A = this chain, B = another copy of it.
Amino acid sequence: MRRPTIKDIGTLAGVNPSTVSRALSDHKDISVELKQKIKAIAESVNYKPNSAAVNLRNKKSKLIGLILPQMSMHFIPSVIDGVSNAVHEAGYKLLVLSSDESIDKETENIKICCDSNVEGILISVSNQTLDLEHLKEANDLEVPVVLYDKTVNQSRYDELMVNDATIAKQSIEYLIKKGCKNILGIFGNKNLSITNRRLEGFKNALVNTKIKSEVIFAQNTKEAAELSFNTLSKNLKIDGVFMMSDELMVGLNACNFQLQQKKIAFNYKPIAISDGVLPYFMNPPVSFIKHSGYNLGTLAAKRLLQHINENVLDKKFKQNILETELIEL
């Protein structure tokens, strides 16, 4: 059975399609009785407007593109959840695209968004991304773009992120306050700007102190486990460990097991930047600065929706810094 159109309803009601259209959208020129009659018919045949036709007519797609640097189990699901809720609440639908940390896929994803007539793009860039040239097409089409979390240095698009240097600094200051004298910092990919910003905060916190520090860089959980084991088994004086992400934190959990196996005593205070779920379940638990992907996603989506709906008068670049809180375990 073909899906009923506005035309079919018109035939059934004995009126013109345009009358049906107006009745269904509660146009004031249509009499109350006729409206009721038409709506009843629409209901009875289970009428649904054809979205393609509506889109074509209105030049709107009610679609938002969410571009993720990769599909990881850490942080990303929270972001999707936050964005998804905010977007659906506003009657939009979400196109989810993962760039798999490749600039080519990212470019392709932007193209898909543009080709799909999305009304706005939320993007967190891959670690291969150095500039935003590939957003030119979106720009030409005047599709609003909001950057979140991972960005490059720019001042053209709104962006929403955490102050990486500050929260890293806070973390270290916490360790210092707790009396740590030998601090290990576990960081991610050395080439990422996010890594460097967090590293900067780490170093800043140590300026003018007598704290000793070591730093390691790990590409993933496994490397974090291995490298931190190497370090912790050699340098037994380490009494504080900072991890810049959940992913690396999980590595430390495995490292601890190795240390126990080798009967290497360890006793350090751990702190991580985390989405907030896993730290409670590490062995031992890890204090953390909560960097909520859900909040980030929600706020980024809301900001984008403002651009779309309110023609944001004040169109100048805004950098929104997300609030965080320290949770002590």
Give the interface segment out of A23-31, A90-98, A195-203, A314-322: A90-98
| Contact indicator B1/A51 (Cβ below 8 Å) | no
Residues of chain A in range 62-78 having any CB-CB distance to chain B below 8 Å? 71-74, 76-78
| Contact indicator A96/B98 (Cβ below 8 Å) | no
| Contact indicator B281/A254 (Cβ below 8 Å) | yes
Contacts of A55 in B (CB 8 A): 52, 55-56
Judge if A221 is at the interface, Cβ distance under 8 Å: yes
Which of the listed residues A116, A251, A281, A284 has the most CB atoms from chain B within 10 Å of its own CB? A281
| Contact indicator B71/A115 (Cβ below 8 Å) | no
Residues of chain A in range 83-133 having any CB-CB distance to chain B below 8 Å? 84, 88, 93-98, 112, 114-117
Residues of chain A in range 41-71 having any CB-CB distance to chain B below 8 Å? 46, 48-53, 55-56, 59, 61, 71
Cβ 8 A contact of A84, one of B71, B73, B254: B71
Number of A residues, CB within 8 Å of B: 57
Cβ 8 A contact of A81, one of B49, B71, B74, B95: B71
CA distance A253 to B285 in the complex (A): 10
Contacts of A250 in B (CB 8 A): 278, 281
CA distance A127 to B98 in the complex (A): 28
CA distance A56 to B137 in the complex (A): 24
Question: Which chain B residue has the least Cβ–Cβ distance from A72?
Answer: B77
Which of the listed residues A59, A61, A81, A221 has the most CB atoms from chain B within 10 Å of its own CB? A81
Which of the listed residues A53, A55, A260 has the most CB atoms from chain B within 10 Å of its own CB? A55
| Contact indicator B140/A1 (Cβ below 8 Å) | yes
Contacts of A253 in B (CB 8 A): 253, 281-283
Separation in Å of the A225 CB from the closest CB of chain B? 6
Contacts of A72 in B (CB 8 A): 77
| Contact indicator A222/B280 (Cβ below 8 Å) | yes
Interface string of A150-164 (1 = CB under 8 A from B): 000000000000000
Residues of chain A in range 154-200 having any CB-CB distance to chain B below 8 Å? none
Cβ 8 A contact of A76, one of B52, B77, B140, B283: B77
CA distance A277 to B73 in the complex (A): 9
| Contact indicator B140/A46 (Cβ below 8 Å) | yes
Contacts of A140 in B (CB 8 A): 1, 46
Interface string of A232-275 (1 = CB under 8 A from B): 00000000000000000011011011001000000000000001
| Contact indicator A50/B56 (Cβ below 8 Å) | yes
Contacts of A260 in B (CB 8 A): 283
CA distance A137 to B45 in the complex (A): 12
CA distance A112 to B76 in the complex (A): 23
Contacts of A98 in B (CB 8 A): 80-81, 84
| Contact indicator B283/A256 (Cβ below 8 Å) | yes
